Amino acid sequence: MVPVGILASWQAIASLAHSIYFPPLGTIFAAFGSSWGAAGTASRLVPSLTRLGIGFTAAAAVGITAGIPLGRSTSMRATVNPVIDFCRAIPAPALLPAAIVFLGIGNAMKIFVIAFVCLWPVLLNAIDGSRGADQVMVDTARTYRLPRRTLLWRIVLPAAAPQIFAGLRTSMSIGLIMVIISEMVASTNGLGHFVLISEQTFAIPQMWSGIIVLGLLGYVLNMLLLAVQRRSLRWRTTERPGGGT
């Protein structure tokens, strides 16, 4: 009911305001046909999804691969923590000028800043999750001299998985934001470039259509990650109301 209420309120306010900057829904939906056909999707949505996919995947791979051993090693964590705290405190948009200087305005620059901003939630959650592994189970596995690979896959990684997925969902959200920012600063295609050009040329319905597509994209990507999370963690027992399992 909430989405219906928002759409109804939008339509009512737009009809009363008579503002070119806040068009009625009918005008915005009419812009979808011309802006988001096969050609529009190929030139606007596909480049953004490609950059997000590559940057997010790279960040996830590095974050999980580095986070698990860092979480299990106190000495490694003490050594690396100052570097992590310094790097994650840097706002990714502040890196755009330097990234443009070193990498140009092509896909390499955009993928780099997307991967940079996506890395930290995954890395930090992987570190905390692996630290939370049941120490009794870890000690038992070591007592029985189980291989490190078995210890990792059977005990540490399952314990860290819920937090890792939380980090992945956070990374996906901020990665999508970074896609739009990078495309607005320096790009000739993509969703961010389309929204910016539409605003600059006063194509307001097209601009709003791009913003709506961005919101829908974020929702769909989050739902996909949730589906993967539920399938991957279906082995977990969940607490039911009343204290049962």
CA dihedral (174, 177, 182, 188) positive or negative: positive
pLDDT at 123 (0 to 100): 95
pLDDT in tens, 129-164: 888 877 778 777 777 777 777 778 888 888 888 999
In a domain, 111, yes or no: yes
**pLDDT-based confidence at residue 115 (cuts at 50, 70, 90):** very high
241: left (phi over 0), alpha (psi -120 to 50) or beta: beta
Rounded to an integer, the average pLDDT of 124-131 is 90
Domain with 89, as residue range(s), is: 35-232
CATH code at 75? 1.10.3720.10
In a domain, 66, yes or no: yes
The answer to whether the beta carbons of residues 218 and 173 sit under 8 Å apart is yes
pLDDT at 237 (0 to 100): 52
In a domain, 243, yes or no: no
pLDDT at 42 (0 to 100): 81
The answer to whether the beta carbons of residues 205 and 31 sit under 8 Å apart is yes
The count of domains in the chain is 1
- Cα dist. 241→75, 231, 235 in Å? 41, 22, 19
In a domain, 18, yes or no: no
- Cα dist. 126→34, 60, 83, 213 in Å? 44, 10, 16, 31
**pLDDT-based confidence at residue 174 (cuts at 50, 70, 90):** very high
In a domain, 171, yes or no: yes
pTM recorded for the entire structure: 0.86
Return d(Cα 14, Cα 36) in angstroms, integer: 23
In a domain, 193, yes or no: yes
Summary mean pLDDT of the chain? 85
In a domain, 176, yes or no: yes
pLDDT in tens, 43-69: 788 999 999 999 999 999 999 999 998
